[in-house]
C-alpha cells in the first residue's frame, strides 16, 4: 500500500479517540481502586451477613471507601462498623465536624441527622474515628456521616473509648496495621422521638498485625487481639477510667452480640486469638 497524504481532520479524530480511550481507562482504574479500598474493611469477614439490599432492613450493608457498616433501619444506628487502619490513612488534616445525614440510605428510610442527638445528654459517638482518617479532608469528612454514629455517654466517648482510639493510632505509628470492628449493644431508651436507640454498652474488637501484605494469609494463632466492652452510662464509667480495665475476650463479645468476628480466618486461628484476653 502506498503512503497516504497528511490529513488534519483524520489526525484530530485519532487524537480525540485516543484521549477518550485514556479517559475510559482512567475511570475503570479509579473504580477498581475505589472498590479495593472499600473491600479491605471486610477482609476479615462480615460479622452478621449484612446485605446491600433495602430488603435487609435490620442489617443493611453500606460500603464506604473509609469504612463498612451494617445499618439497622429500626434502631437508627449501625449494628457494627468495620475498618482497616494503617499509616496510609493517617495525616494532618483538621477535624471536619460536619455531622450530617447519610444521603445514600434507601430513599424511603428515615435519615438520622445532625440535630437528632441535640439536648439528649449523649454524644454523637463516632464508631470509625475521625482521628483514624486524617490523610485527606474528604476521608475525614466521611466519618461524620450519622450512619457512623451511636449515642454515647460523654464519660464513655470522651474517656476510656477515646483512650483506646488513641492507643490504636499509636500502634499504627509504631509500624502496625489494624482491623477493627465496633458497635453498641443492648437498649436503654431512644432519642429523636423514638428513631434512635441508645445502646446499653459499647464494644470493640481489634486485630493487630505488623504492617505488610497479604494480610489474611499471615494471621497466625499468636496474633494480638484487643477486645473491650464498656458501659454506656456516666454513672457506670468515668472519664479517667483506664480502657484496659474493660478488656475481655473476642469470644465474649461474640456471645454478647451474636456476631461472628474475623470469620474469614482459618478456624484454628480464629479459635486461638478469640479466646485470649489481651494483657499487653
User: Which residues are marked as active site?
Assistant: 126
Which DSSP string do the residues of the chain spell out, in sequence order?
A: -PPPPP-HHHHHHHHHHHHHHHHHHHHHHHHHHHHHHHHGGGTT--TT--BSSTT-TTSEEEE-SS-EEEEETTTTEEEEEEEEE-GGG---PPP----B--TTS-TTS----TTTTTTSS-EEEESS-GGG--SSHHHHHHTTBGGGEEEE-HHHHTTHHHHHHHHHHHHHHTTEEEEEEEEEES---EETTTTEE--SEEEEEEEEEES-S-GGGG--TT-EEEEEEEE--TTT--TT--GGGGB--HHHHHHHH---TTTTS-HHHHHHHHSPPP--
Taking every pair of Cα atoms in the chain, the longest distance, rounded to a whole number of angstroms, is: 90
Cβ proximity of 159 and 237 under 8 Å: yes
Amino acid at each position: 500500500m502506498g503512503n497516504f497524504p497528511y490529513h488534519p481532520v483524520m489526525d484530530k479524530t485519532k487524537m480525540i479517540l485516543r484521549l477518550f480511550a485514556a479517559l475510559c481507562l482512567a475511570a475503570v482504574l479509579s473504580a477498581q481502586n475505589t472498590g479495593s479500598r472499600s473491600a479491605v474493611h471486610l477482609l476479615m469477614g462480615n460479622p452478621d451477613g449484612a446485605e446491600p439490599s433495602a430488603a435487609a432492613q435490620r442489617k443493611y450493608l453500606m460500603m464506604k471507601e473509609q469504612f463498612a457498616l451494617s445499618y439497622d433501619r429500626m434502631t437508627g444506628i449501625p449494628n457494627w462498623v468495620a475498618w482497616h487502619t494503617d499509616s496510609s490513612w493517617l495525616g494532618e488534616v483538621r477535624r471536619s465536624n460536619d455531622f450530617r445525614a447519610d444521603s445514600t440510605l434507601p430513599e424511603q428510610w428515615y435519615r438520622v441527622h445532625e440535630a437528632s442527638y441535640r439536648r439528649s445528654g449523649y454524644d454523637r459517638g463516632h464508631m470509625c474515628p475521625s482521628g483514624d482518617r486524617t490523610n485527606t479532608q474528604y476521608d475525614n469528612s466521611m466519618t461524620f456521616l450519622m450512619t457512623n454514629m451511636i449515642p454515647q455517654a460523654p464519660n464513655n466517648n470522651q474517656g476510656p473509648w477515646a483512650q483506646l482510639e488513641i492507643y490504636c493510632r499509636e500502634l499504627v505509628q509504631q509500624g502496625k496495621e489494624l482491623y477493627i470492628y465496633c458497635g453498641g449493644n443492648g437498649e436503654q431508651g431512644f432519642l429523636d422521638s423514638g428513631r434512635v436507640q441508645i445502646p446499653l454498652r459499647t464494644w470493640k474488637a481489634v486485630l493487630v498485625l505488623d504492617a505488610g501484605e497479604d494480610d489474611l494469609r499471615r494471621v497466625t494463632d499468636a496474633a494480638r487481639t484487643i477486645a473491650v466492652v464498656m458501659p454506656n452510662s456516666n454513672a457506670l464509667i468515668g472519664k479517667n477510667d483506664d480502657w484496659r480495665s474493660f478488656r475481655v475476650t473476642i469470644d465474649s463479645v461474640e456471645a454478647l452480640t451474636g456476631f461472628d468476628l474475623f470469620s474469614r480466618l482459618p478456624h484454628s486461628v480464629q479459635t486461638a486469638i478469640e479466646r485470649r484476653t489481651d494483657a499487653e
